[in-house]
Amino acid sequence: MLLEVRDLKTYFYVNGQELRAVDGVSFALDKGRTLGIVGESGCGKSVACMSILKLIDPQAGRIAGGQVLFEGKDLVPLPEKEMTGIRGNQISMIFQEPMTSLNPVFTVGYQLREAIAIHQQAGRAAAARRSAELLELTRIPDAARVLKNYPHQLSGGMRQRVMIAMSLACSPKLLIADEPTTALDVTIQAQVLELLRDVKSELGMAVLLITHDLGVIAEMADDILVMYAGRMVEYAPVLELFKAPRHPYTAGLMRSKPNILHEQEKLSAIPGNVPSLYEMPAGCPFHPRCEQAMEICAERFPDVSKLGDSQGVACWLHAREGGAQ
């Protein structure tokens, strides 16, 4: 297994209060597969991925428990010097807004060459050659011109392609993509997703895709993990989950989006709001919004029940159906 996250807990500390942004998340991802992590804003999906790369600001929070096994090696206790060798080389990350990662005062070519030179200790000529190859791989037309451009001279879609090119500079084994198409127009979104799919299969990488968009998940992912209020509430192969969501929250998400597999009479929103980390309800954090909540739901969070080899759900409705993990 390329990546195995076990019972990951990442907590932040604000005014003496412990905020459990990620609270016991586990998943596994193998070479060549795409896992989509889905959930509303603030559910902890981005924090979980930042934790994998150990990018949590130590002034604000810390990994409070669990393991992040990358090719069998736990990254959590690894010293920063070793993590620097893993970030960008073996695990790369792209973000929603490429302008936050690209430096506005340097040309695209300079930034690409720098990334290659730092991570691969390549000389000037080799880095320049590799930059051109990467732009070709990410199907950027007129690469010679783009290399001379500054980020602000490119469209949003082109900037995201440059970021993808940069993230591939060292042929990573794992690419973490955090809402990579959210800031783009729909047609450009489709092109960037297609590009991600193609480079993934060309390079045999694994992709961890974070999104709130179930349409993107349906297009891209093999497996899906649903998070709510820092907890994992359901995981399954994508088709299984789209056909028969087990957790009431997942079912609510499906009803609030156009369904790709079934005809649907009308869309319906999940009542209420995602709870704040400051005021997390006891028990199952979804219980104030859940139409099927029972007494026990307000008292205890259910363990994840396995519903087969690759499917599980954390909900009292299914607690007796599968063996708790």
**Positive or negative torsion for Cα 79, 82, 88, 92:** negative
Whose Cβ is closer to ligand SF4: residue 183's or residue 317's? Answer: 317
Phi and psi dihedrals of 176, rounded to 5? -100, 120
CB of 28 to ligand SF4, least distance (A): 24
- Among residues 9, 64, 317, 322, the one that binds ligand SF4 under rule CB under 6 A: 317
Looking at the Cβ atoms of 136 and 321, the one nearer to ligand SF4 is: 321
In the complex, minimum distance from the CB of residue 324 to ligand SF4, in angstroms, rounded to a whole number: 13
315 sits near ligand SF4 (criterion: CB under 6 A): yes
The site that binds ligand SF4 (CB under 6 A) totals a number of residues, namely: 14
Q: What is the CA radius of gyration of the chain?
A: 21
Angle value at C-alpha 184, between 178 and 185, nearest 5 degrees:
145
Of 305, 308, 288, residue with least CA distance to 297: 288
State how far the Cα of 194 lies from the Cα of 208, in Å rounded to an integer: 15
Whichever of 253 and 315 has its CB closer to ligand SF4, that residue is: 315
Closest distance to ligand SF4 from the beta carbon of 298 (Å): 8
CB 261 within 8 A of CB 243: yes
Consecutive H or E run containing 294: none
- Render the burial of 135-152: b for 16+ CB within 10 Å, e for the rest: bebbebeebeebbebebe
Rounded to a whole number of angstroms, the minimum distance from the CB of residue 290 to ligand SF4 is 3
Closer Cβ to ligand SF4, 292 or 325, answer by number: 292
In angstroms, give the least distance from the CB of 272 to ligand SF4. 12
Q: Which residue's CB is nearer to ligand SF4, number 214 or number 284?
A: 284
Nearer to ligand SF4 by Cβ, of 241 and 290: the residue is: 290
Give the nearest distance from C-beta 42 to ligand SF4 in angstroms: 18
Q: For helices 124-137 and 156-167, what crossing angle results, to 10°? A: 130
Does position 128 bind ligand SF4 by CB under 6 A? Answer: no
251 sits near ligand SF4 (criterion: CB under 6 A):
no
**Torsion angle in degrees (nearest 10) through CA of 116, 117, 121, 125:** 100
Q: Which of residues 279-308 bind ligand SF4 (CB under 6 A)?
A: 284, 286-287, 290, 292-294, 297, 302
The contact set with ligand SF4 (CB under 6 A) reads 247-248, 284, 286-287, 290, 292-294, 297, 302, 315-317
